[in-house]
Chains A and B, each alone.
Chain A
């Protein structure tokens, strides 16, 4: 069954016609989204073929129930189809948009499963963010950005990296992180804030590439 829906921050007042750097594959993605907005389902198929692996990877990182993954992947691209006209190229690449939707949908599903089962998250999912080797990516830009993000995460102290991991990939609130890690809430807040400040500095160049 499909989950309740979810959100994307890419609401818009701007047109998708403002394409980013034509030197990247992003131009093709923006054109696909434009065609989706006009009702071309073949464009949806092409976008799916290009990015299903990235979206699938993000979803299985969050969900522990393999049976639900298919539904969530489908819902991510379905949401992209329904909200294609709201996509703003100036706010980020198409694959970033898809990943944002994927995280939201996967966390929705994970929270729903958690409530339904009334049992805690599997501790096996608490491992730190991967900071080791990269895999071939479907798109060179996405691959390069992955390397940049992994490098930025790798220089964080382990406790800060864990706070980011639990927040971003498991959707835990700071109170829940404090309980999970047996740390004072204030400590968790400090770790999260410091980690985000460092990541912001480290990732600033790659974000500015978009503009």
Chain B
């Protein structure tokens, strides 16, 4: 059992925590103390604000025109697709007379639809494809990502009844990942869920995500990883700013599979 940190011990390390330079072993103990100590919580908040100011030490460097325009075009195309995806979901649900939801609310509905489809994928990828065939291009791309010839499917199993569980679809040739999770509780304020890609050498952050009101979540990312490098997947609860290494016990884990 790891010894808890005293107030004085924790106070001495708050500057390091604000800079996110605390080694993983101490990080969890520090955060555990801060969560219980209002004085240290207030102090850490102030120090994190100081740390955030340090970014201003860097001079602005305009991107070259071609580079700037290229990134801008890609960015706006993604944003348009993001909005379009939600609009398509709205069309599919247009028989309802409810007020038009906000983009964020629509994301939740979309995530739920995708999550439901992914569960079907466990049983039959072909059936899932049939269900999704009429969706817009973005949805078709999702299906392709789930059913491609090089897609590995891994189930993140719950540790207890009613505990979180999920599925990861990893298109190894494209380096695309899609996680669908269920039964997630809303994390405490200032915290979220972080996905980890575990290799024999290290744990790579796959990013932060939050569940919707139903406890469902979906996240997608692109990250190239050779097929034989992945040992496992894990999801942990971490500060919203993310952690460089896991600081809590995993809520879900999956051993890597080839199919």
Contact = CB atoms under 8 A, between A and B. Distances in A.
A20 to B, nearest CB: 14
Interface in B12-59: 12-13, 15-16, 18-23, 46-59
Interface residues of B, number: 72
Given A38-B103, A171-B20, A4 B52 contact: no
Contacts of B12: 189, 193
Interface string B208-249: 101000000001011110000000000000111110100000
- B interface secondary structure, majority: mixed
A199 interface: yes
Contact of A4 (B76, B204, B239): B204
B223 A4 contact: yes
Contact of A44 (B75, B102, B195): B75
A168 B51 contact: yes
B207 A167 contact: no
B75 A4 contact: no
Chain A contact residues, majority secondary structure: helix
Most A-side CB within 10 Å, residue of B192, B205, B239? B205
Contact of A189 (B16, B61, B67): B16
Interface of B: 12-13, 15-16, 18-23, 46-63, 67-68, 70-72, 74-76, 78-80, 82-83, 86, 102-104, 175, 189-192, 194-195, 197, 201-202, 204-208, 210, 219, 221-224, 238-242, 244
Interface of A: 1-11, 13, 37-39, 41, 44-45, 48-49, 52-54, 56-58, 60-61, 70, 73-74, 77-78, 81-82, 85, 91-92, 96, 99-100, 102-104, 107-108, 111-112, 115, 129-130, 134-138, 142, 145-146, 148-150, 153, 164, 167-168, 171-175, 177, 189, 192-193, 195-197, 199-200, 203, 206-207
